[in-house]
Amino acid sequence: MSDEPNTSQSRRYGQEEIARNQLEPWPNPHPARDYLIHFEIPEFTCLCPRSGYPDFATIVIDYVPEGQVVELRSLKLYINGYRDRALSHEAAANGILDDLSRLLAPRWMRVVAEFNVRGNIKTTITAEHATSDYTGPRPVYRRPTFTGI
């Protein structure tokens, strides 16, 4: 293992991809239909703004698209970009919702951040966005189902 500092000259290709990444919208192939897109992201990490220790969470994103859907590789790299950011649980969940809502302008979106127990406290943050005229599906939240493969 190298003792080189983590500078732009010594970053690995994955770190470079994360640094360059921009969330990317793609055309919704069925914009006339209300349908649900569900993501479970079981390896989310960010840093505690007070201690600098890592916080781990599963992020669940549910949304009903309008004209755009998010490209999955750009979403993966975007989420990985949080790992070195010091921010609260609330800021993480609401930041993800704000960024995706701004990019996609979905009919409805919910982001749930289920953080692992830390200091004997489990934190779950739920943030939602909806257009004022949206009356379509808003499924009941269910805990993440991903168990690994």
User: What per-residue confidence (pLDDT) applies to 20?
Assistant: 87
User: What per-residue confidence (pLDDT) applies to 6?
Assistant: 55
Q: Tell me what the mean pLDDT of segment 72-82 comes to.
A: 96
Domains and CATH numbers, the chain: 21-130 (3.30.1130.10)
Q: Dihedral sign for Cα 4, 76, 97, 124, please.
A: negative
Give yes or no for residue 19 having a pLDDT over 90: no
Q: Which residues are catalytic?
A: 48, 55
Give yes or no for residue 92 having a pLDDT over 80: yes
pLDDT digits (tens, 9 = 90+) for 26-64: 999 999 999 999 999 999 999 999 999 999 999 999 999
| pLDDT-based confidence at residue 144 (cuts at 50, 70, 90) | confident
3-state per-residue secondary structure call for the chain:
CCCCCCCCCCCCHHHHHHHHCCCCEEECCCCCCCCCEEEEEEEEEEECCCCCCEEEEEEEEEEECCCEEECHHHHHHHHHCCCCCECCHHHHHHHHHHHHHHHHCCCEEEEEEEECCECCECCEEEEEEECCCCCCCCCCCCCCCCCCC
Give yes or no for residue 148 having a pLDDT over 90: no
d(CA 114, CA 122): 8
pLDDT digits (tens, 9 = 90+) for 110-125: 999 999 998 899 999 9
Give yes or no for residue 3 having a pLDDT over 60: no
How far is residue 134 from each of residues 50, 65, 69, 131, 148, measured CA to CA in Å? 39, 11, 17, 5, 34
